[in-house]
């Protein structure tokens, strides 16, 4: 399977990293990053994505944390 | 994926199907309004205090309570109450968000400081506890102080109803923790309307977000563009609750509806738990012999902490 590079910003630790992604969907990205979909929301250009959304090369993804920091 | 109701692009998959932004907002607001109505959380004569931290849940519950009052043409007085525990580089940021939000919502905000009430910020109290070689956890102190101050200042400002932003995840975690720790009697105090005994100085607490998941709350506050910064409390620890939270979310991702199942089952037995607790412990709630606030024992938890800090 072809890999694509996408940029992932994580709200939880305010970090940004480039990910060499092996799958197609948001669900597969979360799985690759070992994140439970119950505790995150995923956006692209401020648009909320479902788990079935297909990702494209060079996408800039933000992963928001559902669990509060308190 | 398309919305099951209108075929627009969906943003979340709920138990009854995928929905778009428009249908999520109506589903979510309807759920909160139904909870307010079903449990008769607000009476026309109530003065309402909304306990606010500045996070997504409290901003959402404040916004929707206000919207509910407007839609029902109710003229209840409403104000927000926040506790400044004195946690450096944390609470000041969430309070900044809250001040902005209350200004947008045109709701009066009252901020009560732990330092002014108890003579210590939480940071100072924790330092003192460590110096004394005690092992009390920051979250325990913070929780006792917050509950004490919220009730006291809601009452002082003549509130007759106290609204909190507790959600389905919070409640499911508490129910499971109480079972795991053999504290089933603690669960008698849970439910959409908290408490089992009345006390003249105790303001009744209600939870309009009781049936909303934490993920739904986050999504709602995100769509509404509420000013919520993500910032972690320096004392937040991955303790027992976090483990139960992760376990429930792990189950939820494999078996959708797990958390809702916990709550539905709990609500079936809650009347029995409350009845048992009342029978087992038929003494009325007392007033603390030191400060006069409601207490389960002769001296309340907040005064016990003060004794410990001396």
| Contact between residue B209 and residue B172 where contact means Cβ atoms under 8 Å apart | no
Q: Return the pLDDT at A44.
A: 95
- Give the contacts of B269 (CB within 8 A, at least 6 positions apart): none
Tell me which chain A residues have a C-beta less than 8 angstroms from the C-beta of B18: 50
Average pLDDT score over chain B: 93
Does the CB of B45 have a partner CB in chain A at under 8 Å?
no
Query: What are the tens digits of pLDDT across the range B196-250?
Result: 777 788 999 999 999 999 999 999 999 999 999 888 888 877 678 889 999 999 9
Q: Return the pLDDT at B236.
A: 78
Query: What are the tens digits of pLDDT across the range B63-118?
Result: 999 999 999 999 999 999 999 999 988 899 999 999 999 999 999 999 999 999 99
CB contact under 8 A, B250 and A41: no
Query: What are the tens digits of pLDDT across the range B259-276?
Result: 999 999 999 999 999 999
Question: Which tokens belong to B197?
Answer: 């005994």
CA distances (Å), B228 to each of A69, B36, B162, B224, in order? 11, 24, 22, 11
Residues of A engaging B, defined by a Cβ cutoff of 8 Å? 11-12, 14, 36-39, 41, 48-53, 64-70
ipTM score above 0.85: yes
CB contact under 8 A, A36 and B253: yes
Helix/strand/coil (H, E, C) string of B59-108? HHHHHHHHHHHHHCCCCCCEEEEEEECCCCCCHHHHHHHHHHHHHHHCCE
Least CB–CB distance from A70: residue in B11, B55, B219: B55
CA distance A65 to A15: 12
| Nearest-by-CA chain B residue for A27 | B253
Least CB–CB distance from A50: residue in B1, B222, B249: B1
CB contact under 8 A, A69 and B231: yes
Residue with tokens 């907002």: B25
φ, ψ (nearest 5 deg) of residue B199? -150, 135
Query: What are the tens digits of pLDDT across the range B140-165?
Result: 899 999 999 999 999 999 999 999 99
Least CB–CB distance from A41: residue in B94, B222, B249: B222
Q: What CATH number has the domain spanning B39-282?
A: 3.40.50.620
- Give the contacts of A33 (CB within 8 A, at least 6 positions apart): A8, A19, A63
Tell me which chain B residues have a C-beta less than 8 angstroms from the C-beta of A63: none
Q: Return the pLDDT at A70.
A: 63
CA distance B288 to B294: 6
Q: Return the pLDDT at B21.
A: 97
CA distance B118 to B254: 46
Q: To probe the interface with A, which of B57, B82, B222, B255 has the most A CB atoms within 10 Å?
A: B222
CA distance B200 to B105: 31
CB contact under 8 A, B218 and A11: no
Q: Return the pLDDT at B201.
A: 87
Burial class of residue B170 (count of CB atoms within 10 Å of its CB; 0-12, 13-18, 19+): buried
Q: Return the pLDDT at B238.
A: 67
Least Cα separation, residue A29 to chain B (angstroms)? 15
Q: Return the pLDDT at A1.
A: 60
Residue spans per domain, chain B:
1-31, 39-282
- 0.80 cut: is pTM over it? yes
CB contact under 8 A, A68 and B18: no
Tell me which chain A residues have a C-beta less than 8 angstroms from the C-beta of B55: 68, 70
Does the CB of B223 have a partner CB in chain A at under 8 Å?
yes
């Amino acid at each position: 399977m072809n890999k694509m590079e996408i940029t992932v910003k994580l709200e939880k630790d305010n970090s940004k990293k480039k990910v060499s992604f092996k799958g197609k969907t948001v669900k597969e990205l979360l799985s690759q990053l070992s994140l439970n979909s119950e505790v995150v929301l995923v956006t692209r250009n401020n648009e909320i994505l479902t788990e079935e959304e297909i990702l494209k090369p060079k996408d800039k993804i933000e992963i928001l944390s559902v669990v509060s920091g308190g | 994926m398309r919305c099951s109701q209108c075929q627009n692009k969906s943003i979340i998959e709920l138990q009854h199907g995928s929905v778009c932004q428009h249908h999520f907002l109506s589903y979510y607001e309807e759920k909160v309004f139904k909870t307010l109505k079903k449990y008769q959380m607000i009476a026309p004569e109530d003065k309402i205090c909304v306990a606010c931290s500045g996070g997504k849940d409290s901003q959402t519950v404040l916004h929707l309570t206000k919207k509910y009052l407007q839609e029902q043409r109710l003229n209840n007085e409403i104000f927000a109450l926040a506790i400044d525990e004195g946690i450096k580089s944390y609470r000041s940021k969430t309070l900044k968000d809250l001040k902005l939000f209350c200004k947008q919502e045109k709701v009066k905000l009252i901020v009560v400081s732990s330092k002014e009430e108890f003579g210590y910020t939480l940071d100072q109290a924790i330092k003192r506890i460590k110096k004394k070689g005690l092992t009390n956890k920051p979250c325990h102190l913070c929780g006792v102080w917050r509950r004490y101050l919220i009730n006291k200042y809601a009452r002082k400002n003549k509130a007759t109803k106290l609204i909190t932003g507790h959600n389905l995840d919070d409640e499911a975690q508490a129910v499971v923790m109480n079972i795991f720790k053999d504290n089933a009697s603690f669960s008698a105090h849970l439910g959409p309307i908290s408490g089992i005994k009345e006390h003249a100085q105790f303001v009744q607490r209600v939870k309009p977000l009781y049936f909303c998941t934490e993920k739904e709350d986050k999504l709602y506050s995100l769509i509404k563009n509420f000013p919520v910064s993500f910032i972690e409390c320096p004392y937040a620890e991955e303790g027992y609750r976090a483990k139960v939270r992760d376990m429930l979310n792990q189950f939820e991702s494999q078996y959708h509806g797990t958390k809702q199942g916990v709550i539905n089952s709990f609500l079936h037995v809650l009347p029995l738990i409350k009845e048992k607790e009342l029978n087992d412990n038929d003494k009325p709630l007392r007033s603390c012999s030191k400060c006069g606030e409601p207490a389960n024992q002769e001296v309340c938890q907040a005064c016990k902490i003060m004794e410990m800090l001396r």
